[in-house]
Amino acid sequence: MPTSRIHLCILQPAGHVHALGFIDQARFFRYQFRRLGAEVSIGKNRLRHDAINFVFGSHAGFDESLKARFRCVFVNLEQLGAGGAAVAPAYLHLLATSAVVDYDSANVQAYRGADLTANLTAGHGAGRSADVPLVSFGHAPYLHDEHVLPLEQRPIDVLFYGSTNERRLQLLRQIEATGCKVGMLKFGIFGPERDEEIRRAKAVFNCHFYDTARFEQARAFQCLSLGTPMVSERTPFTTSPAQFDDSVFWVETEHIQSFFAKEFGAADFTARAREKLAAFSAHDVLDQYAAVLDHARNYFGNRTISSAPWQPERLHIGSGRQYMPGWFNVDILAQAEPDALLDLSQPLELPARIESPMLGPVELRAGSLDFVYANNVLEHVGDLPRLMTNCLHLLREGGQMLIEVPYEKSLGAWQDPTHVRAFNENSWTYYAQWFWYLGWFEARFEMVSFDYLDEKLAVCAREAAHFMRVCLQKVATTAEERSTARSVRADFGGLPDDEIA
C-alpha cells in the first residue's frame, strides 16, 4: 500500500478544452500534499497503479471498472443538488459508491443523503461530512509575482472570465453602464495565458451561474493569490469559507451597479484592496488537506486492489493524439506518455509480459483483444504488414480494428514529413481478400464499414475527403479460402508431419 505517492489525474475528453480549468485546483492540491511530505505527480487522463489517485473532472465520464485496479479518490467541484449543475445519474452513483473529496457539504447531500451530512464539523467548507472530507481553497504562494503591475497602473478596470448566461451578461452590462472598462476573456483560455490577463486587471468580477449560488471559491483563490482583488455578488444563499469573508469585496446583487459607480473608483479602493489581499494571504488551510490525506490512506488501507498482470481487452496504438483511460495505450515515442513503449511493427512473441510505469504488469495474449484503435498511425509505420499481423493475432475472432488515415488525394496526405505512405480505397485488399500474400492462413480481416471524413472528421462525400475511417473485423477463413491460399502460397499452408508410430 503506497503511503507517500499521490497522483492527481485531470480527465480531459478529446477536444474538451474546458477541462484545463482543473489545473488550478490540482496545483493547489499538489502544493498542500507536498507540504505534507507526499510525492505528488499530475497527469492528464492517466492513473497510476502505485499511487492514490485524486481524480478531477469525472463528471464528464469515468469507467467504474477502473476502481478494481486503481486507488481512486474523486474530487467533486460541481455544484450539485436542486438548482445546480445538471450531471448524469452515473456521476452521482460514482460519488455515492467511491472515496470522495468535496468543497461544500450541500453537494454531499446530492449523493450521500441528508442524513449523512449532519456531522459536519465547525466552519463551512472545512472539516468532514460523514465519510466525505471537505476542503476549501486558500492562498497559493507559488502564484506570487514580484513584477506584477501596481493596481493603479493596470489597464483593465474589471475582468470577467468563465461561461456566460443571460443573468451574468445582464450584471456585466450594469457595470459597463457606470463607465468601467470591462474586459471579457474568451471562454476556453486557461492556465498562464489567463493568469496574465488577471494580473492586468484592477479587479475580477464574480457572479453566480447556478441558482444554488455557492461561492466560486475554486476560482476566487486563484485571482486573490495572483494579487488581483475580487468583487463578488452575494445573495441570501451565498456562503463562503472563512478565508474569503474579509478578503473579497462582497456586494448584494441589487447594489452591484451602485458599487461600481461609487466605491470602485473611490480614492481609497486600492488601499482597501491591498488590505483584503493581505488578509487572504494570512490564512492557511493545510490542516484540511492533512485530514484528506489521512482519510484517503485509511480508506484504502483495508481495500485490496488487484496486483495480477492486467490483460487488456482494448488496445490503442498511438496514444500521443488522445490517451484513452481504460485502454492499453501504446506508442513508440516517450513524449506521448503512453502506458508502455511498444512498436507493433516489430516481431511480437505472445504471450508478452510488459512492465508499465503507470499500469504495472500487463500481459498481451493471442486472441485476447476485443478492439484495436489506430488513429492516424498507419501512415507512419515502416513495416505495416507486420503491425497488421500482430493486431490480427491479438484480436479474438469477431474482434474489430478501427483505423483512421489520411486520404491520398487530400492536401494533408503528405504534409507531415514523417508519413511513409498514403491510403486509398484499395489499401485494405491485402488484409481481406488477398490475405495469403501476408502469410495468413487461419484468419483474415473483413471490412465492416468504410467512411470518408472531412477536415473536421465528419462523414462526407469522396470529393471532400481528408481522411478515411475503416473498421475491420477478424474472421476465420473458410475452407474454400484456405484451399485458395494453399494453391498460391510457396508451401501448402502447413501440412501435418505424418510421423511413423
DSSP string, 18-83: GGGGGHHHHHHHHHHHHHTT-EEEEEES---TTSEEEEE-GGG---GGGGGTSEEEEE--S--STT
pLDDT under 70 in the chain at which residues?
1-3, 114-130, 210-212, 320
Alpha carbon 491 to its chain's center: 51
Maximum distance among all Cα pairs of the chain, rounded to whole angstroms: 107
pLDDT of residue 54: 98
The CB density around residue 160, as the number of other CB atoms within 10 Å, is: 19
Tell me how many degrees the CA angle 469-475-479 measures, rounded to the nearest 5.
140
Question: Can you give the pLDDT at residue 347?
Answer: 96
| pLDDT tens digits, 23-35 | 999 999 999 999 9
Q: What is the pLDDT of residue 1?
A: 47
Which pLDDT tens digit goes with each residue over 79-130?
A: 898 878 889 999 999 999 999 999 988 899 999 874 444 443 333 344 444 5
Look at residue 127 in the predicted model and tell me its pLDDT: 44
CA atoms within 13 A on the CB side of 173: 7
User: Residue 42: its pLDDT value, please?
Assistant: 96
What is the grid cell recorded at 65?
Answer: 471498472
Record the pTM: 0.88
Q: How far apart are CA 99 and CA 109, in angstroms?
A: 15
pLDDT of residue 491: 85
